[in-house]
Amino acid sequence: MFLLFSTLFQKYTIIESNVGTGVVRSLNPGIDTIGVRVPDCEFIRKVSRGSGSVLALTSANLSGDRSSVCVNDFQSLWQHCACVYDGGLLPLRRAGSTIVDLTKVGKYKVIRPGSAKQETLAILEKYLLEEE
């Protein structure tokens, strides 16, 4: 499973996973899963490794809300964040991240197709996961 996650994290894919005890539940109250993504940005990767905490990335939004394209779009979440780094405005015409639910062993479910759907499906099939 580590290799699967490592491969998916290199793409624009968000993985829905069961919330562990170390995750800040206030970001998704009443929801047992949380989306996880490691962006292709060395600065943020270094911050993530050194922080020991949850990071809200530019795509931060409450479940069901539209994706953010700038830090002001998720200003309501700042109170839950130790730091907010502004890397500028993201392109407005983007498909957003592909969101995949991996909460069931050996299965996947595409929640949002996004910009990396085909690449993501190829990776999931390589690791013999079946569509739910």
Cross-strand partners of 107: 130
Q: Residue 108: what pLDDT?
A: 92
pLDDT in tens, the chain (132 residues): 667 776 776 555 555 556 555 555 666 667 777 777 766 678 877 887 887 766 666 556 666 677 777 888 888 888 887 778 888 887 765 667 788 888 888 999 998 888 888 988 999 999 899 999
- The structure tokens 């170390």 sit at 22
End-to-end CA distance of the chain: give it in Å, rounded: 18
Domain boundaries along the sequence of the chain: 2-131
Overall pTM surpassing 0.85 (yes/no): no
Write the CB contacts of 54 (distance below 8 Å, at least 6 apart in sequence).
Answer: 23, 24, 27
2-131 fold: DHBP synthase (3.90.870)
Residues 6+ apart with CB under 8 A from 2: none
